[in-house]
Amino acid sequence: MSNIKIEAINFLDSLFTQKDFYFLNSLEEEIQLIQEQIQKQENKRDLIVEAINYFESNLKKLNKENIAPISDLLEEIEKVFSLVNSNIKALYHLKEDLSTINSHIVNLLIAIESNPNSAQSYLGLVDDLKENIAEYSNYCTTIKSDIANNDLTINTFLSSDDFKNISKDLVTDASLFSNIPNVNVRKQGNIVNNSSSLSSEKNYINNVLRISEKDNKVYLPYKNNEIHSYLVQFPGDYRSAEDVIKKEFILPLDYYIKHPVLSRFREAYSLIRDREAKSVVEAIKYSMNLMFSYDLNPTIIAACKTQEQLENYLTCLENNELDNFKDFEIKFEISPL
């Protein structure tokens, strides 16, 4: 090794503390440790997602007796899920900070190699690196403390009897919800506005929810972009716009009124999960709040395009001011005696 390089290294020795050098020497080990912690947190998240998926696949087994404990458990799952995601985000932040420090080390070594006889020329890189190390050390101490506290809550929940027994005890069978037809997934899904991709001289707009006992059918509102989107996204399933309307926006009345409790849950769940694109937990909680609202016709929920529309209707319903609901018109056709 040349005398110039030895002088450069000696100069660095005078600038970095022993603690700094220990940190730099163990940098790769620290990165690996954080990656292992990320994997552990992601494994915990997977367990929680499995629990959420369990609820989603057992929606039709809910009844009035088990709704309260399940609601409480969902609150806990939502809290724990948020903590796990917070841990993962923090760990990735630490990993990115370590990558930044590693880049600064490389830049410093390149500078020394390029001009070893001018220590002052890379003094700024040294200062940046030392500042990065100090900031990381302080941030890491705080973050790891937060993660440890979060893990206490997370691990307590994952080891609880409630969580272990989800598949056995939380949702009881109820004959009320047996033999219910499956939800029409396409109809309940998000509608993407692709109407610009399809030309049509005719506009298909219906702003009326018609509930017809006479026809034993429900005629849901629809807009031009929705009809066109079906034709664009599922070209093999529909021959025309009229075919989309017939299959997706005109449904049997029994689909809604035969089991109204389940229908309210199903339609509210679809509104929040699909049309609003919110989380499974949010959708389940919202739906459970509405499923036993006996004065709420499930067809109203099905007709709403947004949560805001439904909230507008519920406000009018609560205040006995349904005439003030203007998002769409509602017509009832009573079967003649």
Residue with the larger pLDDT of the pair 209 and 99: 209
Residue with the larger pLDDT of the pair 46 and 14: 46
Q: Is the pLDDT of residue 178 over 50?
A: no
Report residue 204 as tokens. 């298909």
Q: What is the pLDDT of residues 121-132, one digit of tens each?
A: 677 788 888 888
**Distance, CA of 260 to CA of 294 (rounded, Å):** 8
pTM above 0.75, yes or no: no
Report residue 210 as tokens. 């018609």
Residue with the larger pLDDT of the pair 213 and 288: 213
DSSP state of 331: E
Q: Is the pLDDT of residue 222 over 90?
A: yes
Say what the pLDDT of residue 18 is. 77
Report residue 334 as tokens. 């009573």
Query: In sequence order, which residues have a C-beta less than 8 Å from that of residue 281 and are 6 or more positions away?
Result: 52, 74, 77, 78, 81
Beta bridge partners of 312: none
Strand-pair category, 250-252 with 329-333: unpaired
